[in-house]
A and B are shown apart, each in its own frame.
Chain A
Amino acid sequence: MEDKKLTMYHLYKEMLNNYMQSKSEHTLYSAQQFSKEMLEKDMSPEEVVSLHKSVITELVNDPSGELLDSFDLLLEVMIGYGLAHREHLSLRDRQRQLDSELNVAARMQQSLLPNNKIEVEAVDFGVKSVPAGKMSGDYYHYFVDEHGNIGAAVADVIGKGVPAAMCMSMIKYAMDSLPEQRLQPAALLENLNRVVARNIDDDMFITMVYGSYDSKKHQFHFASAGHEPCLYYSADTDDFHELKTKGLVLGVSSKVRYEEYVRDLNPGDFIVLLSDGVTECRINGEFIEMKHIKQIIRKYKHLSAQQMVDQVYSELEKIQEFQLRDDFTLLILRRNV
């Protein structure tokens, strides 16, 4: 400690002496480098003032007493800056700690999502979900039953970050507790809505679309709780249709009925489930148009469903200059044969 101070003292003295003789930019540059060393050695502003005062007292033959006294006042003023600096360091440490806690939470959240591959001959399936921050308020789910029928869902908690993510995990556990309704979209939403209404604050809302694909009849059944409409792509006409639905968002009232809809799929047709992070992409401050999203999807339709969602994401990411404002989830289910 004392050695360190002594070295700093000598270095500073030499530098100040040089400067007073040469007034050179070179010495000022050394001073700038020196300040980094002082920060590294944890020297506070008041210590710097005190150092300056003692060095100048030694260097100048007859320093004016008034001038020297002025440094005492400066030193007193600098105490506050020193405290602010220390507080800043400690807040920075706390931020790092919070960051690492969030990373753990984000990994846990990731583990709530399904990660098995869907291997059903009749269907090509792909999903891409990216949070805007570390944690996501989007949720997706899929599963295959023993007959090759598929259930798939996308949900979006209104809001972002940690509160939305906590809400999302509740949806996951609620879905797990309702296995028997997995292939009945309307019934599933009705049950889920009851759980959500009981368990979340009045100011939180969740939208969700749930669909099930019948691999024998090639029908897509779906119901929606105030979610973004799904898109249906017809290979025959090379056209997209928005699948309009009615249904209140989850959690508003515990008694809500949901209507179930059905759409026949021909080979090559596909269904797109998405969250508002996709439709509310912003390009130069303006929301992207649905037409534009459809164009992008169409551009990659020759690829597999997984490649499609990946490509659509990278293109939307690029046009938004890599700044995601909302959690992004895109899911595609295509009839193969």
Chain B
Amino acid sequence: MQVHTHVEITSEWGIVAARQAGRKLAREVGFGSVDQARITTAISELARNIYLYANKGQIKIEELADAGKRGIKITAVDNGPGIKDVRRVMEDGFTTSGGLGAGLPGVKRLMDEFIIDSELNNGTKISAIKWLR
């Protein structure tokens, strides 16, 4: 039975809880300290986006095992306003959080795989995977 955790994001506490759950699972899967920090940062950014733009949503963290490879998958889901121009937010130098956040291009860089699905007024779903090497 593979582990997966759901964390509800409704406040900054949720962000911390998601980080904690992500770091714990990353460690269990066998990631080193640098990758643990990267995965945690990715979770943090995704959770913050939910908190800032959709107010609430979920972060799902699960272990992956696929053809001898092991990894971790983060899925962020919200029913918020959606992203109008995905190409634009995936551009470097365009930070939606207004501050110096890593933004979505940062999350993409921290992880190995990245899929984004967003519909205006209907919410956003982002999945990101990191494989153990």
Contacts and interface: CB of A to CB of B under 8 A. Distances in A.
Interface of A: 1, 46-47, 50, 53, 72, 75-76, 79-80, 83-84, 86-87, 90-91, 94
Contact of A83 (B34, B93, B109): B109
B92 A80 contact: no
A77 to B, nearest CB: 9
Given A90-B92, A91-B92, A94-B92, A83 B37 contact: no
Contacts of B110: 79, 83
Given A47-B34, A80-B102, A83-B106, 15 more contacts: A46-B37, A53-B33, A75-B34, A79-B41, A79-B110, A80-B41, A80-B100, A83-B110, A87-B92, A87-B93, A87-B106, A87-B109, A90-B92, A90-B105, A91-B93
B32 interface: yes
Nearest to B91: A94
Contacts of A47: 34
Contacts of A86: 109
Nearest to A93: B92
A46 B109 CA distance: 14
A94 B102 CA distance: 18
A86 B100 CA distance: 14
If over half of A's interface residues share one DSSP class (helix, strand or loop), that class is named, otherwise mixed; here it is helix
Contacts of B69: none
Contacts of A91: 92-93
B33 A87 contact: no
Nearest to A89: B92
A80 B106 CA distance: 9
17 contacts: A46-B34, A46-B38, A53-B33, A72-B33, A76-B37, A76-B41, A79-B37, A80-B102, A83-B102, A83-B110, A84-B100, A87-B92, A87-B93, A87-B106, A87-B109, A90-B92, A91-B93
B33 A50 contact: yes
If over half of B's interface residues share one DSSP class (helix, strand or loop), that class is named, otherwise mixed; here it is helix
A76 B92 CA distance: 22
Nearest to A80: B102
A87 B100 contact: no
Interface string B101-122: 0100110011000000000000
B133 interface: yes
Contacts of B40: 76
Residue in B32, B34, B100, B102 whose Cβ sees the most chain A Cβ within 10 Å: B34
Interface in B1-59: 32-34, 37-38, 40-41
B96 to A, nearest CB: 14
Contacts of B133: 1
Given A75-B33, A94-B92, A87 B38 contact: no
A148 B39 CA distance: 76
Nearest to A75: B37
B45 to A, nearest CB: 9
Nearest to A86: B109
A83 B106 CA distance: 6
Contacts of A76: 37, 40-41
Contacts of B38: 46, 79
A84 B41 CA distance: 13
A80 B124 CA distance: 24
Contacts of B106: 83, 87
A3 B92 CA distance: 32
A42 B110 CA distance: 14
A280 to B, nearest CB: 33
A314 B21 CA distance: 68
A47 B34 CA distance: 6
A83 to B, nearest CB: 5
Contacts of A90: 92, 105
Nearest to B106: A83
B108 to A, nearest CB: 10
Nearest to B41: A79
